[in-house]
Structure 1
Amino acid sequence: MPKSEPFERHTDRYEAWFETHEAAYRSELAALERLIPRPGFGIEIGVGTGRFADPLGMAVGLDPAREMLVRSRRRGLDVVRGVAESLPFEDDTFDTALVVTTICFVDDVPATLAEARRILRPDGSLVVGYVDRDSPVGRVYQEKKSENPFYREATFVSTDELVDALEAAGFSEFEFVQTIYEWPGDIDEPEPVREGYGDGSFVGLGASR
């Protein structure tokens, strides 16, 4: 079952994170912008309240949480209720598929990636943004996830694990960017975005279909 119940119940708390941690949020946006220069017709899978889809130029948002979709619709997105493992779209529909801080919540990562590839056009791109399990922030999130209603049921992934899953799903031509080098609550200004991974706790990964 999709882990959507906390997002239905705590939507205001979810939204408040972006206000409280604006510098961290802006850092993550800047990292993802590096990987999406021209989104074309794009979708965010696990759109939440549209905090990433809207500024990054996605046209469509999908999420299992109804209350999240209400907020995304207010931001002007076309929204669809559904789960990542069974996308209600035809093959070859989108130029870009965006998945941000969602991969740790899906029930089946291989199925999610296979579905993302299926709905992408032959020259389409997948962009995944996530907190690396092996990073400083990722380790703290894991240690304290029982205290957080959102992360309680999360399964964090490392970059190497995600790359293996992407290759198994048929993706290639990987590109990495990273940011967030301090604890998000301690960041007063946007952090720099650098190529690669291993230093920053938030990683953006771009892959070709």
Structure 2
Amino acid sequence: MGPTEAFETQTGRYEEWFEENEPTYRSEVRALDRFVDTGAFGLEIGIGTGRFAEPLGIDVGIDPALEMLEHAVERERSVVQGVAEWLPFQDDVFDVALIVTTICFVDDIERTLEEAGRVLHADGRLVMGYIDRESEYGRHYQAIKDENPFYRDATFVSTDELLADLDALGYGDVDIVQTVFGSPGEHDEVDEPRPGYGEGSFVALSARAPN
């Protein structure tokens, strides 16, 4: 994963975002919940403080930032310090591998997706959530990234790019929904997810693990 200094030193600011942007956060969770089965044994890659793992029932998380992991432990998640490109787990362990907003911070997207596929059962699902680079929020975050300690080192991706990567690696049976409609700073309602992408700024994607 990329630099973690901001996530180590400004965890409080990170947590405050979820409180100040609750409708956006709840919209994102609602979209991801479409793809995470209750009772599935899951891993969140880039768990952060556990803000998504907890409501989605993801049991295990990995992240390079120790300060973040301490909050995830408080949310009763089992955690390991590590990076997305080298997961310290055996093959075929998890039903679900969740990656939320983390994909724009990894050093190697292809390697991250390979590792996620490796630790999934043959019929397991990769579930991703991210701000689409081509969306209204995506363009906004790119414009201000130099002013934001978290996004300064981010490399935003488009849904088309991710779909091409997943296809090349053998992922299949892709399903996509979108949410967070409207402009940054004006999103004050919890949105219902809609199929596809191209309108909502947050995309939730599910794909079957490579055989």
Which residue matches 2:100? Answer: 100
Aligned-partner Cα distance in 2 for 1:166–1:10:
32
| Matched residue SS, 1:62 | strand
Inter-partner Cα distance in structure 2 for 1:90 and 1:34: 27
Q: Over residues 179-208 of structure 1, what are the superposed CA-to-partner deviations in whole Å (9 max), with x where a residue is unaligned? A: 011234322220221011000000000000
Q: Is the 8 A contact 2:171 2:207 kept in 1?
A: yes
Q: 1:8 — aligned with what?
A: 8
Query: In the comparison of the two structures, how many residue pairs are matched?
Result: 209
Which deviations, in whole Å up to 9, do the C-alpha atoms of 1:134-174 show, x marking residues without a partner?
A: 00110111111001000000000000000111112221111
Structure 1 vs Structure 2: percent identity of aligned residues? Answer: 58
Match of 2:204 in 1: 204
Distance 1:7 1:169 in 2: 30
- Alignment-derived partner of residue 155 in structure 2: 155
**SS of equivalent residue, structure 1 residue 30:** helix
Q: Is the Cα–Cα contact under 8 Å of residues 24 and 184 in structure 1 kept in the other structure?
A: no
Preserved CA contact (<8 Å) 1:39 1:95: no
Partner of 2:189: 189
What residue in structure 1 maps to residue 144 of structure 2?
A: 144
Q: State the partner residue of 1:72.
A: 72
Q: CA deviation at 1:36?
A: 1.3
Per the alignment, residue 117 of structure 1 pairs with: 117
Q: Describe the superposition over 1:39-90 as per-residue Cα deviations: whole angstroms up to 9, x where unpaired.
A: 5110100000000001101000100000000000000000000000000000
- Counterpart code for 1:11: T
Instruction: Name the residue aligned to 1:61.
Output: 61
Q: Structure 1: state its 5+ residue gaps.
A: none
Alignment check: 8 A CA contact 2:140 2:184 kept: no
Does 2:33 correspond to 1:38?
A: no
SS across alignment from 1:123: strand
Deviating beyond 4 angstroms after TM superposition, the runs of 4 or more aligned structure 1 residues are: none
Check whether the contact 2:129–2:203 (CA below 8 A) recurs between aligned residues.
Answer: yes
* Contact 2:2–2:153 (8 Å) recurs in 1: no
Q: Where does residue 82 of structure 2 map in the other structure?
A: 82
TM-score of the aligned structures, taking structure 2 as reference length: 0.97
